[in-house]
Amino acid sequence: MEDTSLKSGMLEILLVFSEMDRLQKVSHLIESHYNRHINTTVFHNLLEAIEHLEISKKPYSLIVFEHLSASQSIVRTLVEMGGSSAFILCGRSLDVIRGLKDTEVPIEFVSIDTMFEEIPKVVNRFEVTGKIPMLDEAESDYISIRPDYLPSMGPLEATVYTQLIDGHYVPVFGKGDSVERKQVEEYLQGKKLTHFYFKREDCKELLYQKSQDLKSIIEEKPLDRARAEEAVSASLEMVRDVVGQMGFSPEAQKVAINSVSATIKLMGSKPRLSGILLELKNKDGNYLTAHSLMLGKVACAMAYKIGWTSRTTYFKLTLASFLHDIALNDGKLAVVNSIEKAAGSGEFSADELKEIRLHATKAADYARSMSEVPSDVEHIVLQHHERPDGTGFPRGLPFRLFTPLSALFVIAQDLIDYSQIHKDAEVSLETFFEARETVYSSGIFKKIFQSLRTDSALV
């Protein structure tokens, strides 16, 4: 087996707590988050831990420590010695880390009284933002990528690898190569491959290049719409691959944001539903990406129709649609609207059902981790499989608790599903409205639905 060494992604954790009980509970919490054994080093006081870091120079992914006094200097020393670790301080006063908040150090404070509930949330946040390795990251120096979007990447910014049966990775396309669709197909069919690989260390640069590309394509005059649409779609595919394996790093976030800006520019300020409905019938390519792009357009066109025409609204809806199914790996999981029905159908494994159940919450975590993104986006994502009659998931939310944008998003996704189910029939907005009249008959759903129907602005 080749050197898929654990060196860079190995999860090493340092815990410093005065009481054994706390140590064990925190260690258990982190292990159950990762669902496997984690290498943990423990100390009962901070000075010993600092001395250990100084002497051993051992790199830790995460240092969780207790510090109940108000002294800042000992925390500073620990942070200096901890190198590139992420830190969770369990203490009594947030003031202790105030001075560190402006630095690049990933450090979060949790109150000692609520630490057992808070630590898993912080670990999750660190993980989704790439500040500590995700589970799979500890296993390989390569990340897998779906082959569909390689041809639209232009000259490659990094070497693409394939994995041989014995585990070795070998290069298939070099840096600077432009990959033809035919070449990819030959590989997939001839060698029965499903994935290619990038080196993990190349991803930061690749994502940076992607966001630059998007920016320049969209600023070009005249705008090449087909090329821009293809670039947005390829960018989303790459973000999906990277986020699942490395977390939603700042570079991946930038690509998502630039994809949103590009889409809004392509859509214009007056997106119309009628044209989009036609497009819906003819979409192809990766289902999840096509679905996410389409949902953004439909949601914005609906917003426009009812008079919610601000750029901020379009931004929130488009970003939410790009993120909402990002935690899913397979298009067939995205069309499930009821966990009970899916479980009863026998078509899904227990793992797939779990993936479906958790995907909205996970995607909401990604949205929350983005800097300077309004919390509306997180709510839309979290609520996208809820239903007005309370039969949705993950929470079975009643209609009263939907935010207006979430309600609109749910209707938009329903329209897409409806037109997919009735693919061969003539789908007009009117047939959809008739079919769903009783479904959207309460609260904010009723208001939105009525104004969509009557074309009246709902300001």
Residues in touch with Fe ion (CB under 5 A): 325, 334
Cβ-based nearer residue to Fe ion, 335 or 439: 335
Residue type, 50: I
Residue 321 CB, shortest distance to Fe ion, in Å, is: 8
| Tokens 């509970």, residue located | 25
Residue 439 CB, shortest distance to Fe ion, in Å, is: 18
Residue 262 CB, shortest distance to Fe ion, in Å, is: 20
* Spatial separation of the C-alpha atoms in residues 228 and 352, rounded to whole Å: 33
Cβ-based nearer residue to Fe ion, 252 or 410: 410
Instruction: Give 261-276 as a DSSP string.
Output: HHHHHHH-SS--HHHH
Residue 334 CB, shortest distance to Fe ion, in Å, is: 5
Copy the structure tokens of residue 134: 């995700």
Question: What's the alpha-carbon Rg for the chain, to the nearest Å?
Answer: 24
For the chain, helix (H) and strand (E) counts, in that order, are 19, 9
**273 within 8 A of 298, measured Cβ to Cβ:** yes
Residue 317 CB, shortest distance to Fe ion, in Å, is: 13
Complete edge-to-edge strand list for the sheet that includes strand 142-145: 142-145, 196-199, 160-163, 169-173
Cβ-based nearer residue to Fe ion, 325 or 376: 325
Residue 454 CB, shortest distance to Fe ion, in Å, is: 27
Residue 325 CB, shortest distance to Fe ion, in Å, is: 4
- CB atoms near residue 21 (< 10 Å): 8
Largest alpha-carbon pair distance within the chain?
A: 73
Residue 295 CB, shortest distance to Fe ion, in Å, is: 6
Buried b (16+ CB within 10 A) or exposed e, 98-110: eebeeeebbbbbb
Residues in Cβ contact with 192 at an 8 Å cutoff, skipping those fewer than 6 apart: none
From residue 196, give the alpha-carbon distance in Å to each of 16, 147, 305, 379: 41, 6, 42, 34
DSSP code of 143?
E
Strand partners, 63: 14, 87
Residue 73 CB, shortest distance to Fe ion, in Å, is: 48
* Spatial separation of the C-alpha atoms in residues 137 and 142, rounded to whole Å: 9
The residue of the chain with the least Cβ separation from Fe ion equals: 325
**321 within 8 A of 299, measured Cβ to Cβ:** yes
